Each structure stands twice: as C-alpha cells, then as structure tokens.
Amino acid sequence: MQPTTVIVVADKTSLKRPFIFLNAVNMALCFFMLAVTVSSHRYLLGGTKVRLSLSGLVCLYILGFGCLLLSVLGVCGACKEKRWCLILFAVGMAAASQTMLVKTALTYQPIYEAEVVDRESSLRESALKMPLGENSLVNRTLLEHMQAYYKCCGLVEGYKDWGSSIPASCLCEYPERRCVRLRGNFTVGAQKKQLIYQEPCLPLYMASVKRAFSIAIGFKFGSAMFWVVLLVLSIKLMVQIKRKKEFLALLQTHKYCVPGTS
C-alpha cells in the first residue's frame, strides 16, 4: 500500500482581517478629525488669530483627507492582495505619522501660550476692570454665559467682582454646597438673602481649557501612533502576501518534493 501524502495549504494572509478592521476604525477617526477641523475653522473665522492657525488647519485638512484615502487604498490592496497598493499605503502612513508627531511637538508650546496663557491673561485683565459690570457688552455677555455654564460667579473673588450689580446668571437655581447666601446692598438680578454661586469662574474655566488642550494633544499623538501600527501591519501583510504567492507558484511548477516519496 502506497503512502498517502496530504499537503495542507494554510492561509498565509492571517493579518488581512485585522488590517481591514483597523482601517475601518481609521476611516472613522479621519471623519472625526475632519469634523473637529471644520468646527475649529468656523470658530477661528470669528476671531483675530486666523492667520496664526491657518497653517495648522491646512495641515489637519491634508492629514484627514489623505489618511482617509490611504485607508481606502489599503483596504483595496488587502482585499485584492495588491502589493503596490500596500506599498503606497505604507509610504503615506509613514509620512502622515511623522508629520503629525513633528507638527504636534513643534507647535505644542506656541499653541499652549496662545490658547491657555494668553486666554488666562486676557481674563485677568478683564478682572482688573472692577467692577465687572463696567466691561463692554460683549465681555459681560461672555461672562454671564460662563457663569451659567460653570455655575460660578465673578472671576477672581466671586460675586464681589461685580460690585453692587450682580447679574441673574449668578443665582443658584437649586441649593448646592457651592452656593452662599447674599448679604449687603445689591441690585438688579440678585437681591438680599438670595443664594448665589460662591466659586469664581476663572479657576473652573481655565481647568476646562487645560483639560481640552490635553485631550487635543493626546488625540494627535494617539492618532500618530495608531498610524504607525497600521504602517507595521501593512508591511507584515505585504510579506505574507509575497510568501503566499511564492508558495502557490512553487506548487504550480510541480517541483515541490515531499520527503519519503519518489
């Protein structure tokens, strides 16, 4: 009885499905990045620092659209096992991740000074114009929106920053620990013996700004590292596709010899 030889051809592209799944995640990430960029662009159009942030916005637009197209190219290359698609994908992801890391590292300090330090200095300058009711209508409106959102009153010394004219946005709708009973001669929105917010707004607002800044920087570095992971997976997938094609070509030449058979 002649021995029987069974040749099992295993799947040589085991990284295909994880690669496609991570590219789908990257597409969602790119859509989110573009949405945030568009929102930031609209916000900056109403400010005075458009020129300073224009280069950063253009870079984010290019990275968002570029990585989105690269993910489409990478998925096509993985599904059809086209190595040239994966090569272009790897080159693009290498450039995108390096650009994001370098751009974030170089602009960290300028953006921190513009978005955190300068903003805090501007608010402290407004606090020096005591009482706060003497500020411009735009500044007073912004302060009242801040007080209603963060449930605070004033900027540095609480409700005392407003002098005798305290706005209604300082009033506590429900009794809380951060509320204090108002005493003294006050007019307009707040009257005697009413509860108003005790905490000043500047520490709460700046803590929120710093937290948002940290999240934005972490998102940029995280995106860059995620693209590095996709780069490594694409290289490994290219190697697997090459080995699979070489193995199949070897079988088709009928020169594959199995030990123990003639």
* pLDDT for the residue numbered 241: 84
Question: What average pLDDT does the chain have?
Answer: 78
* pLDDT tens digits along 154-186: 888 888 888 777 888 888 877 666 787 776 665
pLDDT(230) > 90: yes
* pLDDT tens digits along 101-157: 888 888 788 878 777 887 788 777 766 666 777 777 777 788 888 888 888 888 888
* pLDDT tens digits along 53-96: 566 677 788 888 989 999 999 999 888 888 889 999 999 999 99
- Asked if 63 and 96 touch (Cβ cutoff 8 Å), the reply is yes
Q: Residues of the chain with pLDDT > 70: what percent?
A: 78
DSSP letter for each residue of the chain: -----------S-TTHHHHHHHHHHHHHHHHHHHHHHHHHHHHHHTSS-HHHHHHHHHHHHHHHHHHHHHHHHHHHHHHHT-HHHHHHHHHHHHHHHHHHHHHHHHHHHHHHIIIIIHHHHHHHHHHHSSSGGGS-HHHHHHHHHHHHHHT--SSSSGGGGGTTEE-GGGB-SS--TTEEE--SS-EET--TT-EEE-S-HHHHHHHHHHHHHHHHHHHHHHHHHHHHHHHHHHHHHHHHHHHHHHHHHHHHTT----TT--
pLDDT(259) > 90: no
For residue 52, what pLDDT band results from cuts at 50, 70 and 90? Answer: very low
